[in-house]
Amino acid sequence: LVDAIREDVSVLTLLAEVLCLLDMIVNSFAHTISTKPVDRYTRPHFTENGPLAIDGGRHPILESIHNDFIPNNIFISEAANMVIVTGPNMSGKSTYLQQVCLIVILAQIGCYVPAHFSTIRVVDRIFTRMGTVDNLESNSSTFMTEMKETAFVMQNVSERSLIVMDELGRATSSSDGFAIAWSCCEHLLSLKAYTIFASHMENLSELATIYPNVKILHFYVVIRNNRLDFKFQLKDGPRHVPHYGLLLAEVAGLPSTVIETARSITSRITKKEVKRMEINCLQYKQIQMLYHAAQRLICLKYSNQDEESIRHALQNLKESFIDGRI
């Protein structure tokens, strides 16, 4: 008997680990849910090819620690299958990524989720590339570890995967890091996989001026008396927060002369970037209009509206397209 078991000991060990993990996840989250008011956790809806939509999503762990946790939404579909989340350091990007992953996992293991409403496209895998450190055992630097994880994602991703990437390319030079982040985004855009990409590289917002299936979001921050006031609220569109790195560096105690020199340098760089984005917007405006028109036509194709309403919507779409307002 021992010899027979020994042949399959690796499989039995893996099965025991999986059962332990499921027991921990289900029991711990079941306890969390049972101690919350009835309307705090809701039953998720599932779709085969529809969007990933979460209204008022919350982090299931952090909301138990912070009573004033701010909920946020997400909507990803085949028409806009990549969301780029921007914002300063400590604005809430990493927490948001973890929150979305946890909600999807909870939904797919049969739990209620911390959200007002959710529709989940069933995923085959969740790929994450989040904060890393040096791996001394394998003699891998932070950047090498980051690249190995990214390579694994690129080689194994499918159309039904959910990809979550946080600050890709920050562990090398700024130019190479930006180039790698941009090219990875372009590769993922060619797939039907849903991707959430968080970065404080504001230049990545230019992707939305070229590719119509990119959606830009930002975490709202207010600057008061040269201090950052984090609101932890996710809003649509890009937003330039001027010199937020310098503000944090000033709080950390860097000399004022160093801060002023850095501010002068970054102002000159920013002017060049703004000019390039304006050129891209003009160059790709026609493609963006055609894509948005196609999106609306697809929505009308599957609409339940009556014939007269659809005819009216088509007329409005035609007028908007001619006027360049679409």
Contacts of 317 (CB under 8 A, 6+ apart): 293, 296, 297, 300, 326
Alpha helices in the chain (DSSP H): 2-7, 9-34, 62-65, 93-108, 142-156, 174-189, 207-210, 244-252, 256-283, 285-301, 307-323
Distance CA(93)–CA(87), nearest Å, equals: 7
For 29-42, the pLDDT digits (tens) are: 666 666 666 678 89
Which band of pLDDT confidence, cut at 50, 70 and 90, is reported for residue 59? Answer: very high
Is residue 325's pLDDT more than 60? yes
The rounded distance, in Å, linking the Cα atoms of 231 and 219 is: 8
Would you report the helix, strand and coil content of the chain in percent, each value rounded to 5? 50, 20, 30
Cβ atoms within 10 A of the Cβ of 297, count? 12
More confident call, 238 vs 137: 238
Q: Answer yes or no: are the C-beta atoms of 96 and 90 closer than 8 Å.
A: no
* Mean pLDDT within 32-57: 83
- Distances from the Cα of 88 to the Cαs of 45, 108, 242, 264, 270, in angstroms? 33, 32, 10, 19, 16
The per-residue pLDDT for range 272-301, each reduced to its tens digit, is 777 777 777 777 777 778 877 887 787 777
Q: Pick left, alpha or beta for residue 113 (phi over 0 → left; psi -120 to 50 → alpha; otherwise beta).
A: beta
Report residue 196's pLDDT band, with 50, 70 and 90 as the boundaries: very high
Q: Among 41-50, 88-97, 131-140, 228-237, whose mean pLDDT is lowest?
A: 131-140
| Stretch 141-153: mean pLDDT | 85
Average pLDDT over residues 54-68: 88
Give the mean pLDDT of the chain: 83
pLDDT value at 133 more than 80? no
C-alpha angle 155/159/164, rounded to 5°?
70
Residue 12 Cα distances to 16, 19, 26, 266, angstroms: 6, 10, 21, 57
Closest CA to 183 of 162, 219, 211: 211
- pLDDT of 245 over the 80 cut: no
Q: Is pLDDT larger for residue 274 or for residue 264?
A: 264
Is the pLDDT score of 124 beyond 80? yes
Tell me what pLDDT residue 306 has: 83
The predicted pLDDT at position 3 comes to: 81
Q: Span 133-143, mean pLDDT?
A: 60
Q: What is the pLDDT of residue 203?
A: 80
Q: What is the pLDDT of residue 91?
A: 82
At 306-315, the pLDDT tens digits run 888 888 888 8
Residues 135, 139, 143, 146, CA torsion sign: negative
The predicted model gives 186-213 an average pLDDT of: 87
For position 85, what pLDDT does the model report? 93
Looking at the predicted structure, is the pLDDT value of residue 120 above 90? Answer: yes
What pLDDT score was predicted for residue 116? 92
Report the percentage of the chain scoring pLDDT > 70. Answer: 90
CB 262 within 8 A of CB 246: yes
